[in-house]
Homo-oligomer: A and B are copies of this chain.
């Protein structure tokens, strides 16, 4: 016996966090049936299950064994633990993690892969899943195609990316998302302390992101660091003298901007 390629025996979601929530909702909207939501926290499982019209459980051995697809969307560090305990008859099993190899499933399952949606998800915020790049990997070509077809039901941006590339992509995403966002956080802290409303920075943040994605970020760079304007840089460092943490970031990032620019100029 084998899984149904139309997933008519349903999908099990392991996890009830941000990725699990947005992915389940997208699958449900595309008319897939979510059979069960599992989370260690029963309330989290219930909350998500209600949204996608599914059963739920906080006991791993209560998960149905006859679903067609099992999607592990939990914190990276508990993926291996979950894999040890999950039982299934014939279904496909995938995880959604950027940094975890596909071979974490090896020798335990017959049909496995990775279904990595590359986006920053927060529960409080709706996402148009059709714009979310989904990176697919599978342990054989037939399964690759099945997972690609599934991903295409919820996204217009589906890519075959192997484990090594996916790891680099995830690392790049940490810079482009989490680290860029931290720069906004530092900016907000600086504004708060001077009683300046964050609203003043919003058009700048949006335009910076749009300019970088419309051309390329190195070409789009402006400001004192890329001009190596030491006059302004030293004034800024002086303004940060009570914030050693931010001063350190200021120095390092400014140097790095200048160096990267030099490298590009001489190429």
Chain B residues with CB under 8 Å of A65's CB are none
| Cα separation A209 to B77 with both chains bound (whole Å) | 28
Closest Cβ of chain B to A186, distance in Å, is 5
Chain B residues with CB under 8 Å of A185's CB are 217-218, 221, 257, 260
**Contact status of A206 and B200, CB under 8 A, knowing A179-B249, A217-B185, A253-B179:** no
| Cα separation A223 to B157 with both chains bound (whole Å) | 22
A164-197 interface code vs B (CB 8 A; 1 in, 0 out): 1101111111111111111111111111011110
Interface size class of A (residues with CB under 8 A): 35 or more
Q: Does A205 contact B176, Cβ atoms closer than 8 Å?
A: yes
| Cα separation A161 to B191 with both chains bound (whole Å) | 12
A41 CB-CB contact with B under 8 Å: no
Q: Does B221 contact A182, Cβ atoms closer than 8 Å?
A: yes
| Chain copies in the assembled complex | 2
| Cα separation A190 to B184 with both chains bound (whole Å) | 22
Q: Does A190 contact B161, Cβ atoms closer than 8 Å?
A: no
Q: Does A133 contact B176, Cβ atoms closer than 8 Å?
A: no
| Cα separation A38 to B226 with both chains bound (whole Å) | 24
**Contact status of A177 and B223, CB under 8 A, knowing A203-B157, A204-B119, A209-B205:** yes
A121-162 interface code vs B (CB 8 A; 1 in, 0 out): 110110100011101000000000000000000000101010
A51 CB-CB contact with B under 8 Å: no
5 pairs of residues in contact across A and B, judged by CB atoms under 8 Å: A176-B201, A177-B204, A180-B208, A181-B208, A186-B256
